[in-house]
Amino acid sequence: DLIARPARLADNIAAAPRWWMAGLLSFVLVGAFSYLTLPVSGPEQLEMMRDSKLMQSIPEAQWQEMYDEALNKSPGRRAVESIGAGFTTLVMSLIFSLVLGFFARMSGGQGSVPQSLGVGMWAAVLPFGMASVVKLPLVLATESVFTANIGLAALLPGGDPQTAIYKILMTYGDLFTWWGLVVMIIGFERVHGLSR
């Protein structure tokens, strides 16, 4: 229903929100994505920050040590950082859902707090969980987190992630984010009885 029938998903959420299941799903998928891509994302992030003032103030030997550490993180350290990434996603989705639920209630919405959490958390599975599943093979194949895009930035093959147009397309052209927004709009419309 999340993928093919968002209206039926919203009706199911109204009957039984099960927001914790959506949160757990996002937590697991983001954590797994983070664990599998940390050997790529850590060094890549350091390389992108290389020209910053902060990195220029660090001696070359220390930068190289940081780079090697990012490249060769132990499984335990990767697990801890991955759990942190999953937990951060979970908390951010919870807060966002509560804020939207508050505004829906202030606008005359009839839904409960668990129902608001259900709508927000299930919609968040798309940009966080599903996008991670789709993006993972691209990241592993290209060995780059920043250039592997599944949104409009993919229209600029070989594009420089530092350019303004690339950043705009990457930020505002993510198809899973827009898909999640549509699911959220339909969800709040049906659960809270609000107009679109």
Unique residue bearing structure tokens 């660090």: 58
Model pTM greater than 0.85? no
Per-residue pLDDT 10s for the chain (196 aa) are: 988 899 999 999 999 999 999 999 999 999 999 999 988 888 887 777 777 776 667 777 776 777 778 778 889 999 999 999 999 999 999 999 999 999 999 999 898 999 999 999 999 999 999 999 999 999 999 888 877 788 888 787 676 777 888 878 877 888 899 999 999 999 999 999 888 7
Nearest to 183 by CA among 120, 102, 137, 91: 120
Cβ within 8 Å of residue 48, ≥6 positions away = 146, 161, 162
